[in-house]
Homo-oligomer: A and B are copies of this chain.
Amino acid sequence: MREVAIVAAGMTRFGELWESSLRDLFAEAASEALTSAKADRLDSIYVGNMAAGQFVGQEHLGPLMADHLGMAGVASVRVECACASGGAALRSAFLEVASGASDLVLAAGVEKMTDGADATEVLATAADQELEAYHGITFPGLYAMIARAHAKAHGTTDEDMAWVSVKNHKHGALNPKAQFRREVTVAEVLGSSMVADPLRLLQCSPVSDGAAAVLLCPLDQAKKYTDRPVKIRASVLATSTMALADRKDPSFLDAVKLSADRAYKAADLKPSDVHVVEVHDCFAIAEICCIEALGLVEVGKGRHAAREGLTALGGKIPVNTSGGLKSKGHPVGATGIAQAIEIFEQLRGEAGARQVKNARIGLAQNMGGSGASSVVHILERV
């Protein structure tokens, strides 16, 4: 396998972007990445997107986006893995470059969620239709059950979860691309309206529009496009049972652990080697479960991490310096690419007020459904 680098990135602001269509969002992010690398051609495009067919009546995003980018002709397909679609698209781009088939591949993610469809209902099609969605449950309910299982197993409290939101909003306030650039307090989180007991509004990521794109090439060609390439040390996707009820322990995200273990092995690294991390905090409890499954903290200790500052900027292992899904926003197909961009910028020293000092190795973890899929990328400054 050839070694692969990320050499450029582009990203829209995340939020309610009513002035931009699905294709416009994609083109904005993709063009920024291409311009940054001074690249005027591509060999291939991967579009991460969960549900544009349901959200805006548009499947077949591969040729649509290539065309809208002025590159009709180029190979271009959509990769879907629910909220991990972005991470899955990045992995496909990585494999294509690693194979030797292509030298310049764009991995982009896009979702347009605020255009009218019932977002909660559309997102529920990422759950098991026969065993879960058909019976009326949606994702706030599924993650509420994970939160209750975690509380039962480890004593996790509503306040523990509130601290995750407080930390991520503090980070997001520093991110010009974030949907919610404001801090929140523990009291505000615990006083916000109940969505699915015990999860409150400010413990849930929002409904968002947005796009993000990264450009990949073989590491030995990276200097053509940038003087600060970032190497992909590992790109791994793992799955678990689709239905939450089929897991041995609903408080533990086994696909996250599996994807992380395989990624650490592929990169020949351990959790303590990582300097900055993005995880999939679609709900506050998800961040707690993810940092445990990634081995960043002991299982059962995740609840203390945000409160004690361990995962805050300036802490031992900063997590979700971008603001995470909670504050930055969560246009589902774009999220996995946006996470990789945060790590890319951190490793290049371009994260501004959010910069983690001397970050050399970073990890991005993107998740689908209630944890039925998880993608881990480990990146390194070279």
Q: Report yes or no: B72 in contact with A241, Cβ–Cβ below 8 A.
A: yes
Q: Mark A256-276, 1 if CB is under 8 A from B, else 0.
A: 001000000000000000000
Known: A63-B369, A373-B63. A133 touches B57 (CB 8 A): yes
Q: Report yes or no: B67 in contact with A241, Cβ–Cβ below 8 A.
A: yes
Residues in A lying within 8 Å of B, measured CB to CB: 1, 21, 23, 50-51, 53-54, 56-64, 66-68, 72-82, 88, 91-92, 95-96, 98-101, 122, 125-130, 133-134, 236-243, 246, 255, 258, 368-369, 372-373
* Bound Cα distance from A131 to B245, whole angstroms: 44
* Bound Cα distance from A197 to B186, whole angstroms: 65
Q: Report yes or no: A64 in contact with B125, Cβ–Cβ below 8 A.
A: no
Q: Report yes or no: A79 in contact with B81, Cβ–Cβ below 8 A.
A: no
> In the complex, what's the smallest C-beta–C-beta distance from A64 to chain B, in angstroms?
5
Known: A53-B53, A78-B80, A125-B53. A60 touches B242 (CB 8 A): yes
Q: Report yes or no: B241 in contact with A1, Cβ–Cβ below 8 A.
A: no
Known: A64-B128, A99-B1. A59 touches B80 (CB 8 A): yes
Please name all residues of chain B whose beta carbon is closer than 8 Å to the beta carbon of A368 when the two chains form the complex.
Answer: 60, 62-63
> In the complex, what's the smallest C-beta–C-beta distance from A203 to chain B, in angstroms?
23
Please name all residues of chain B whose beta carbon is closer than 8 Å to the beta carbon of A241 when the two chains form the complex.
Answer: 63, 67, 72
* Bound Cα distance from A238 to B44, whole angstroms: 9
> In the complex, what's the smallest C-beta–C-beta distance from A70 to chain B, in angstroms?
11
* Bound Cα distance from A263 to B246, whole angstroms: 44
Please name all residues of chain B whose beta carbon is closer than 8 Å to the beta carbon of A81 when the two chains form the complex.
Answer: 60, 62-63, 77-78
**Which residue of B54, B62, B99, B246 contacts A53 across the interface (Cβ within 8 Å)?**
B54
Q: Report yes or no: B369 in contact with A239, Cβ–Cβ below 8 A.
A: no
Please name all residues of chain B whose beta carbon is closer than 8 Å to the beta carbon of A369 when the two chains form the complex.
Answer: 60, 63
Q: Report yes or no: A125 in contact with B80, Cβ–Cβ below 8 A.
A: no
